[in-house]
Chains A and B, each alone.
Chain A
Amino acid sequence: MLASSPRLRAILLRVAQAIPVVIGVVVISFLLTRALPGDPAVYFAGVAADEASIEETRVAMGLDKPLPVQFLHYVGDLLQGDLGQSLSSGRPVAVDLANRLPASLELTLPALFLAVVIAVPLGVLAATRPGTWVDHLCRVVVTAGVSLPTFFTGILLIYIFYYLMGIAPSPLGRLDFIYLSPDHVTGFYLIDAALMGDWETWRGAAKQLVLPATTLALFTLAPIARMTRAAMLTALSSDFIRTARAAGLSNRTVLYRYAFRNALLPVVTTLGMVFSFALGANVLVEKVFAWPGIGSYAVEALVVSDYAAVQGFVLAMALLFVALNLVIDLLYTAIDPRIGFEAQ
């Protein structure tokens, strides 16, 4: 059954390849939690702890055992979804992260969508019309995009659209205080408000989203546009395009059916790198716009030295990123039929 479907085998192989990466990520996260400055037992016992209670904490947390045993405990806790207890909120870190994740996704996903929708056509146009204003625009956008610090772009946008022009709402969170947050169904305000049919709240939430999503999109736009342009140029100068043109196919068919489909592969590959940047930039954008996502959760935790929360966040982001890369690679097999057969 498995051998009969090379595509399925390639997919399973790719999923299997993710396992050592996940193990590596867990090992590094474990080392990070154990590399806390000073003695973790002293830290987790609290400020007012004496010798005895520190020792008690040490035993309670298993810190008196050798590192490999501690690691097994750590993995055991992880498998039960236990990322430890947040000192600042008093709740389990996993619960905090799960509560805040929808806010981050509601910011990141539209931003990435916006970036792809703008960057891919821009790259294609720049590649098909080299030397024109589109090409120059593409180059300026790409260079500016990689040089602009995300947090700075966000602040500039706030200054222009909130302070000077007054068309953006105040950059404080997901919803202005004049609206009530919609009933919790999915945690995505736009979806929840739409489910309730409360379009006024929907508009309010959408307005809050515009500036932070634009900031994040501007940042992620650059690598996608650059890669699309380069991949399109390579594809357009290849032999099969020349053949297709010589065979008299229309310009449109050549561009979209032949060149673009081939150029899509390296673009999808760069998306992995773009996600890495976007997840990092997300932290900064959330801080600038006081967006209550997991990024600002981690920043708040850092400020009060809430290490369990920070390390939980790092691990969660890494696992999210591994999963995203897996999805990208699987998409890759879907786009490029050769891959499944090569892996036999």
Chain B
Amino acid sequence: MSDTTPSDLPRQPGNLEHVIYVLRTNPVTLIAFGMFTFLILSALFGPALVPYDPLATNAGNALQPPSWAHWFGTDQIGRDVFSRVIVATRLDLTISVAAVAISFVVGSILGCIAGYWGGWADIILNRFLDTIMAFPLFVLAMGIVAALGNSVENIIYATAIINMPFYARLVRAEVNIRRDAGFVRAAKLAGSSDLRVLATQIYPNALPPMMVQVSLNLGWAILNAAGLSFIGLGVSPPTAEWGIMVAEGANFIVSGEWWLAVFPGLWLMFAVFTFNLLGDGLRDIVDPRKRT
């Protein structure tokens, strides 16, 4: 997660002023960072702070509308919806962060190999990525989870696989345009090995656009994971997770118990919205064309 902090991105002097300038002219980005901090805090400390045990049932207190005692009401077996929504933050963020981290690492390695050495590796990688992209991605994720088995880890792997092409392509392009650049030749002339040049001279250039991709991708990964658990994959019922809570709440919406589905849904939306805003903001910071 620390990868996405703004101080990590720009390295040259003068960029701090630029970050401050962007944040000042675009308060939305600042708000997005605030929302992001809130999400991280609720993932870290939420389980310790929530007023009720997210799994504790209380049949006498079922399906209560929101009140002071239960801010988001209670569900069909009397569990506190607010506690469950907050506790679920950790699981949902873990799934998406883990998936994005895997696709980041694997995509970087594959993209570097294809972009730097080219040739057969490049052709095979491109065919492979084309094939993945030839599937409707959510449907492919369903197929992967069905094939690997229905578990949270496999949700992570499936989400990682369908995100991987975006990273691999980005890194490949960034590496490819720089492999014959002056500074790369200089580094080689100075006796650095291919691997060293790749790791220290070329790859870091791909990081800023990768960060933007990560932020936009996290939102999508959360949506995707929640969608999978909404159709009954991965997370199993007693666990608090936004997608499955919306799925359970959906059965009660036609009889008017809206709080069961609406609050987890809103939280899910909030998380995705945060990452999308953050991605747009990060793009403003790293996009050189926006610099004045």
Contacts and interface: CB of A to CB of B under 8 A. Distances in A.
A288 B247 CA distance: 8
Nearest to A286: B231
B134 interface: yes
A283 B127 contact: no
B85 to A, nearest CB: 13
Contacts of B227: 149-151, 280, 284
Interface stretch (A119-127, A129-137, A192-200, A316-324): A316-324
A314 B131 CA distance: 13
Contact of B253 (A24, A155, A317, A325): A155
A18 to B, nearest CB: 9
B238 interface: no
A283 B134 contact: no
Given A33-B147, A171-B254, A147 B276 contact: yes
Contact of B135 (A25, A35, A298, A303): A25
B231 A317 contact: no
Given A37-B148, A155-B249, A284-B231, A149 B130 contact: no
Interface string B241-265: 0010011011001111010011001
A32 B219 contact: no
Contacts of A70: none
Contacts of A275: 136
A333 interface: no
Interface stretch (B64-72, B101-109, B267-275): B267-275
B139 interface: yes
A276 interface: yes
Given A147-B276, A314-B143, A25 B254 contact: no
Contacts of B137: 276-277, 280
A28 B135 contact: yes
Nearest to B146: A310
Nearest to B224: A280
B135 A314 contact: yes
Given A314-B139, A314-B140, A317-B135, A283 B231 contact: yes
Nearest to B264: A152
B36 interface: no
A32 B143 contact: yes
A143 B273 contact: yes
A120 B226 CA distance: 29
Interface centre among A149, A150, A162, A170 (most CB of B within 10 A): A149
Contact of A20 (B127, B146, B247, B249): B127
A93 interface: no
B39 interface: no
B261 to A, nearest CB: 5
Interface of B: 127-128, 130-140, 142-144, 146-150, 219, 223, 226-227, 230-233, 243, 246-247, 249-250, 253-256, 258, 261-262, 265, 268-269, 272-273, 276-277
15 contacts: A25-B131, A27-B131, A32-B147, A149-B226, A152-B246, A152-B265, A152-B269, A155-B261, A155-B262, A279-B138, A283-B142, A284-B231, A298-B139, A318-B134, A321-B134
